[in-house]
Structure formats: C-alpha cells, structure tokens
Amino acid sequence: MYRVTLPKTYYFDEVYHAVTAKLYAHNNPAGYEWWHDAPEPNTAIEWLHPPVAKLFQAGSMYIFGENSFGWRFPSVIFGVGVVWMTYVLALQLTKVRGVALLASFFSAVDGLLLAQSRIAMNDIFLVFFMLCALVFYTRWRKYRKPYQIVVSGILTGLAVATKWSGAFLLPIFFIDTFVVVLKEKKFILLLKGVLSWIILPILIYLLSYSQFWLQGHAWSQFKELHNQIWYYQTHLNATHASQSTPLQWMFDLKPVWMYVDYNTPGKVGNIYNLGNPIVFWGGLITAVWFAVLWLKNRDWKRGFLLLTYLSVWTPWLFSPRIMFSYHYAPAIPLLCIMLALFLADISRKKRLRFLVVTVPLLALAWFIVFYPHLTGIPIPQKIVNRVYFALPSWK
C-alpha cells in the first residue's frame, strides 16, 4: 500500500485498463466496442481481454472515486490474495506448514508479483484465480467431493474471463485426471471433468459479459468482438523496448520498465516489474531437480507442480505476438512452492542445511534493496546505475 497512489496519473497499461474500467463504471457501452476513439488523450479502450479484472476496478472506482487509489486498490487486494493462496496450495500439496509459510514468503518478496499488485492491469487477478482453481482441484483429487470439482470449474472460468491464458489450466486438470482414470478405471471422472472444466467455464465466461448483454448488445456483436480479439492477438506486429521471450522470463533477464520520475534533482524513481532472482533462478534449479526425481520415483506431488509450471509457461513459446515478463506471473507461485519444498528436502542433509536459512535471507535482502526500484521511490542516479542495472538487460 505504501505510495500505491503514486503516480496520480495513469502509467504503463493503465492507459488501457483503468480508462476502460471507468467506462464500465459509467455503464458506457463503448467499453466493449472496438470501433471507438480514445476516450481521453493518450489512452485507448481495452477490449482485447475479457472483463473480469476491469469489472473489479470499475467497482472500486465506483466506491473510492475515479482516482489512482480507486483503480489500483483491487490489484493490491488480489496481490495479497496471491500470497495467501500460494500458502494454501503449498499446504494442500505438502501438509507441512513450514513449507507453506516459506512458499508464501518467497511470493511476498518477489518483485514482479509486487509490481503487478500495484498497477491496474489484469495479470494479478489471473494468478489469483488460477491458484484458487488449483487449490480446489487438488482437494477434489484427494477427497472427491462434488462441490470441489464444481468450484474448480467456476474458478477456471473466472481465470479465463480475466485473460484467455487462464485456459492453460485445462491440460493440467485433464492430463492428471486421465492418469487417475487409467489407474482406477473410473471413466465417469472424465465426464465430470468435461462438465466442470469445459461447460462450466464457458458459462462463467458468458456471464462475465453480463453488462455487455444488459446494455443491449447482440450475439452477432459478441462474435465479432471475439473475431477482432483473435485477429489482433494473432496479427500484432508491434515492437516494444521491454518486450521479451519466454526463455528470457525463466532467467529473469528482461523486466518491463513501467514508469520513471525525474522530478527530484539528482535522483530518479523507476517502477520495474523485475523478478526476485533468488526465486527465479532457485526455482528453476529446483524444477530441473524435480524432473530428475520424478523420473526416478514418479512422486505425484513434485510431478504435479512441475507439470503445472510447464503448462502455464510453455504455451507462450508458440505465441505469435510480442510478449512481456508479466506473462510469466502465473508460474512464479509455483516456483515459490517448488523452491520451498526443495529446501525442506535438503534440510535433511547436514552439509546443505545452511541453504534453508541462506536462500530466504538472500531473497529478503534482494527485496529490501530493490524495493525502491519496484515502487518508484526516488534514488540517487549513481546507485540506480550501479545496483539496479547490475545486469545490462535489466535496464
């Protein structure tokens, strides 16, 4: 929350998301229509993504006013929710409170998640709904309560209705369920999966456009809107100074420069969504180790985490459009859980036990040092150049 209202004006993609959320708040049909000019100077209407995140932002502005706090507050709440759900998912998978606490700690000190929790965009909402869906799926897999698979389907629908990449959950659910079906010969589980993870999300997606329907838009307009979305996403040839590739995300090589403040003499205030390299690099090493372990003993817990990580990341390798590091956000809580579980594993080995303390302390130290760089606090230019741009690609 500290300085979350600064800058007072739109920055980075708020010129699309917050502006469109204002139209939603005023029940202006232009928020869903692709042919309108920009409603404010240097802005544009954001019709390229489903409406759920913008609806939360619109509701917040309706309550708190059309100001920077109003359009950013929901991201703060959902960002805290991501830390919480990282804990819940880790506890659900491991049944070890210490591992769950450590996983949530890693998510709390990650710079990319923090930056996305302080800006009116849709990615932090996506991460939250995906984590919630995973929590209820893992509960259903163990306890087989009907409401659990239904809730996982509803949450999957909310994820897709926030951003289409929420559909990356579907391979996880169906592959894992198919393995269970082969073991238990319960083919009814696949039918339940189709109803919960295909039919139900489609209904939730259609309901997310309730304002669109109530405004009098026709089905033909809904179809054309999605034709426009698909064409744009598959034919976008634009470039951007902060664009990056999925392989760069893995190694935390190219953050997005979201904002700069030169108003303080001799100082500069930047907002970069730079990931915590301890989490990124440590989590990546852990993912490789989990792959080796899974090949040896087929441990479901580690295999499921690894499959989920790959499912939310690898589809981006085939994306035809420009991409940014925040597209990696859904993978970060999974890295956090894998890293925490890895540290718990090596705590049994006396020679490596020091890492259980050292790794979290390094992650915390990085977060403290880089916090100004993530939140726009003005820092002397020399420090910015020497510390925050330690890697040339971080600039």
Give the domain range for residue 83: 14-394
Residues 6+ apart with CB under 8 A from 100: 87, 88, 90, 91, 94, 340
Q: How many domains does the chain contain in total?
A: 1
What's the pLDDT score for residue 134? Answer: 98
Q: Is residue 79 part of a domain?
A: yes
Q: Is the pLDDT of residue 233 over 90?
A: no
17-34 pLDDT tens trace:
999 999 999 999 999 999
Tell me the C-alpha distance between 292 and 287, whole Å: 9
Tell me the C-alpha distance between 361 and 351, whole Å: 18
The end-to-end CA distance of the chain, in Å, is: 25
Amino acid making up residue 116:
Q
Q: Is the pLDDT of residue 119 over 90?
A: yes
Tell me the C-alpha distance between 57 and 61, whole Å: 6
Amino acid making up residue 216:
G
What's the pLDDT score for residue 250? Answer: 95
Tell me the C-alpha distance between 179 and 294, whole Å: 15
pTM of this prediction?
0.96
What's the pLDDT score for residue 339? Answer: 97
319-329 pLDDT tens trace:
888 999 999 99
Q: Is residue 66 part of a domain?
A: yes
Q: Is residue 134 part of a domain?
A: yes
162-206 pLDDT tens trace:
999 999 999 999 999 999 998 888 899 999 999 999 999 999 999
Q: Is residue 4 part of a domain?
A: no
User: Over the chain, what is the mean pLDDT?
Assistant: 95
Q: Is residue 377 part of a domain?
A: yes
Residue count of the chain: 395
Asked if residues 294 and 303 have their Cβ atoms less than 8 Å apart, the reply is yes
328: DSSP letter: G
Q: Is residue 6 part of a domain?
A: no
Q: What are the two backbone dihedrals, phi and then psi, of residue 268, each rounded to the nearest 5 degrees?
A: -140, 135
- Rounded mean pLDDT, 134-159: 96
